A and B are shown apart, each in its own frame.
Chain A
């Protein structure tokens, strides 16, 4: 029926400023290097002021929509743990979920107008049968910089996709400054081993 073949969709969810843009760029480049058509979407403006944000990446033989439809993401990755629940509707049945155990308190909670959910890990496990849940920031510190947490997570989520390692490596080398290359490659490997 369709002329665009199988399309892989990935949703990255988090809070403005967590590095979703870079993660999305690396993933898109890896997909292109592996010979795919690729489209991504990102959030700018108002939503970035500490708001909840998502990045969407789709690749395959021919991609039309840059947006991921409900229930079709092969991988959902949350850079902040409860954001995985907020965007759960995107996940395809049987899809992989990668969650950073970090908590970023929303201002609604700081003000006392809402509560941060308890037992997040248990909740995630009850909703997502294929879950990788770990402290990506801690693993990033091991390679030298907490800001590489996004790349650690990319390493973990790469296990749910079919892109060759070589494409990931070239995409990372191409997307970060030379002096951070080694560290980000290590961060990716550590993430992959956490899966």
Chain B
């Protein structure tokens, strides 16, 4: 027995299921699955692919060849991988294939809270929803089993609270895949040209019928009979909350929730006086159960926005029973509590770029990563964000729309490799004139420092080629490609002055390693000489958490300072200098 997070349990399940190929792209809350799966090397080949679509395709092909394979991503990653998902459903697989997709209800670390369950119905493939770590491991294995039995891809959907909660898990031995690996030469099976795709289309529908029957008898779906005046149909983490808020009620706990187990739902609903559906995010179950002609309630009492909790469901129960909803306990001294928003770390190389951009009247299109934090005060240097890679293409869109200001697109290194390159081609090919800055901190930082094609190392820990952002820029047709050191303000401003004034596209690579990742200070710690300080607060405006500007004259917390010297370069009075190292 071990206490494992949901993501650690998934990784253990990947090992026990005999999976040999595991791919993914980092994204909270899914990242730790592959980080833990790679601990089982060489039994499992693991890779961070450049993006989710590539990861999906690599794992899919492995499964077509008979290997057991998984792919991991966050919910929005499945949008990127939706293209191969929809047609892999037609091709099917030989070895087990599971896509573990992590939703983020409440948007703890995401730009939207889309409900991945809809993708299972959309792609007509089975959906499993674990509600704790033991089920994370068990359902991953069940997913591989179902996948092989019906030759279908399977989605295992997790959420932030399943992935990042820990609970006790019983471990088991690994069961190896005994198939001979190799793609069978059989074009009608693997080539979805129209005449063959039409045949596959029927197979998909036949498969759904068989899967529906299996879902009704699956151990992942169970009825817990208690008092029959209320029966609750629920799944995923919501089940755990239901058991605490309605401990006396009967429950149909769905773990294999698509294809909908219609007979089981009918049996349950027919045996209780009233049916309540409790599910997080969309009315994925409720809409279908209502369409089956079963009287039930759900979203009229249970929120469809944000994540559920025992507290929100206690309110739902009170509403349903016509009782007054318990009032929220007010936070003591709430008016006096300063907010503590996430910020760019001390010594973050992105800060220099944002601080420099603050000197220009430009529109900045941003992207997904730590540098999204550049949108907040005091930097305020990011105007719009849409999605991964959007920082580059949206710059081009504003430019073509006729926005008269200079348009600057900002994208991180990992994001650039993920989906920035195609946008870059678009700018050069379609004669745009946006200025693109790749803030290259040599790692995928926000998700906890994963490697990518520009870091020179694989997830398996092997040295490899380092793909050059500058070379890609030139290959995409950019004539102006510059590299800057973001810790040198004068150099940064000089390059920006030149590049922002020309009427052609420009690629600027701002290169400085993430100090959190490299685990070393950028330079010696800085100190403010209180006698020289004129309290102009120029250093405070760079938004460094190591600079405490709570008093009239700011001071530097030397424990937090990473010695990047940006504050020193901002100071017009020479009040900031390096602290001499004690010998």
**Interface residues, chain A, with chain B CB atoms under 8 Å away:** 1-4, 15-16, 25, 28-29, 32, 37-52, 63-67, 69-71, 82, 85-86, 88-89, 105-117, 123, 127
A38-B3, A112-B549 known; A49 vs B342 contact (CB < 8 Å) = yes
A28 to B340, CA, bound (A): 27
Q: How large is the interface on B (under 10, 10 to 19, 20 to 34, 35 or more residues)?
A: 35 or more
A39-B166, A41-B161, A109-B338 known; A1 vs B333 contact (CB < 8 Å) = no
In the complex, whether B331 has a CB less than 8 A from a CB of chain A is: yes
Please determine whether B332 and A88 come into contact, CB atoms closer than 8 angstroms.
Answer: yes
B274 / chain A contacts, CB cutoff of 8 Å: none
Please determine whether A64 and B244 come into contact, CB atoms closer than 8 angstroms.
Answer: yes
In the complex, whether B132 has a CB less than 8 A from a CB of chain A is: yes
> How close is B339's CB to chain A, nearest CB, in angstroms?
5
Please determine whether B108 and A47 come into contact, CB atoms closer than 8 angstroms.
Answer: yes
Please determine whether B336 and A43 come into contact, CB atoms closer than 8 angstroms.
Answer: no
Please determine whether B3 and A88 come into contact, CB atoms closer than 8 angstroms.
Answer: no
Please determine whether B247 and A69 come into contact, CB atoms closer than 8 angstroms.
Answer: no
> How close is B564's CB to chain A, nearest CB, in angstroms?
15
A1 / chain B contacts, CB cutoff of 8 Å: 247-248
Please determine whether A111 and B240 come into contact, CB atoms closer than 8 angstroms.
Answer: no
Q: Chain B 543-575 against A: per-residue CB contact (8 Å), 1 yes, 0 no?
A: 111011110001001000000000000000000
In the complex, whether B270 has a CB less than 8 A from a CB of chain A is: no
Please determine whether A49 and B370 come into contact, CB atoms closer than 8 angstroms.
Answer: yes
Nearest to A88 among chain B residues (CB) is B332
A38 to B448, CA, bound (A): 26
Please determine whether A110 and B167 come into contact, CB atoms closer than 8 angstroms.
Answer: no
A40 / chain B contacts, CB cutoff of 8 Å: 3, 165-167
Nearest to B348 among chain A residues (CB) is A49
> How close is B428's CB to chain A, nearest CB, in angstroms?
33
**Interface residues, chain B, with chain A CB atoms under 8 Å away:** 1, 3, 5, 28-29, 31-32, 108-109, 132, 161, 164-168, 237, 239-241, 243-244, 247-248, 309-311, 314, 328-333, 336-345, 370, 373, 377-378, 446-448, 537, 540-541, 543-545, 547-550, 554, 557
Please determine whether A108 and B247 come into contact, CB atoms closer than 8 angstroms.
Answer: no
Please determine whether A15 and B109 come into contact, CB atoms closer than 8 angstroms.
Answer: no
A52 / chain B contacts, CB cutoff of 8 Å: 340
Please tell me which one of the listed residues B239, B342, B550, B557 contacts residue A112 in the complex, with CB atoms under 8 A apart.
B550
A39-B166, A46-B446 known; A67 vs B548 contact (CB < 8 Å) = no
> How close is A102's CB to chain B, nearest CB, in angstroms?
11
Please determine whether A85 and B554 come into contact, CB atoms closer than 8 angstroms.
Answer: no
- Report 20 cross-chain contacts, Cβ distance below 8 Å, ordered by A residue: A28-B166, A32-B3, A44-B29, A45-B108, A47-B342, A49-B345, A51-B341, A82-B337, A89-B329, A89-B330, A105-B548, A106-B338, A107-B343, A110-B545, A111-B549, A112-B540, A112-B550, A114-B338, A114-B339, A127-B332
A43 to B440, CA, bound (A): 26
A29 to B167, CA, bound (A): 10
